[in-house]
């Protein structure tokens, strides 16, 4: 079973994404901030990380860079953020993101992208 880590500080987003990912057949892990995400990445080695950018302690860009620097992990990263300006999107891809989706978002498109990246 593929592992998905959802990293967001908004409880409503976490709840809906957890439901959707479990329904799609993934083992789901939750982190409410970037620091918690780093611990889970090391412990669980997720296949896909759905990642917010603006979070307390460690932001999404830092988490993404950390994941991408762990070459043996090979995790795919999807940014899910309210930051929709071109410079924010570019910074997301520069930090190593595999896909960038802005909030509000289509849950169907997100699940489709997770499925695609999970291979």
| Domains of the chain: residue spans and CATH | 3-118 (3.40.50.2300)
Q: Report the percent of the chain where pLDDT is more than 70.
A: 100
Report helix, strand or coil for 27. Answer: strand
Instruction: Read off the pLDDT of residues 72-101 as tens digits, 9 standing for 90 and up.
Output: 889 999 999 999 999 999 999 999 999 999
- 98-115 per-residue burial string, b: 16 or more CB within 10 A, e: under 16: bbbbeeebeeeebbebbe
Nearest Cα residue to 63 out of 95, 21, 85, 103:
95
Q: What pLDDT is attached to residue 71?
A: 78
């Amino acid at each position: 079973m593929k592992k998905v880590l959802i990293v967001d500080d908004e409880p409503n987003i976490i709840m809906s994404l957890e439901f959707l990912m479990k329904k799609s057949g993934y083992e789901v892990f939750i982190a409410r901030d970037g620091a918690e995400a780093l611990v889970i990445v090391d412990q669980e080695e997720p296949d896909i990380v759905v990642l917010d950018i603006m979070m307390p302690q460690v932001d999404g860009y830092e988490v993404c860079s950390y994941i991408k620097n762990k070459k043996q992990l090979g995790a795919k990263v999807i940014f899910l953020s309210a930051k929709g300006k071109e410079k924010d999107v570019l910074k997301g891809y520069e930090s190593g993101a595999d896909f960038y989706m802005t909030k509000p978002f289509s849950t169907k498109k997100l699940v489709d992208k997770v499925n695609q990246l999970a291979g």
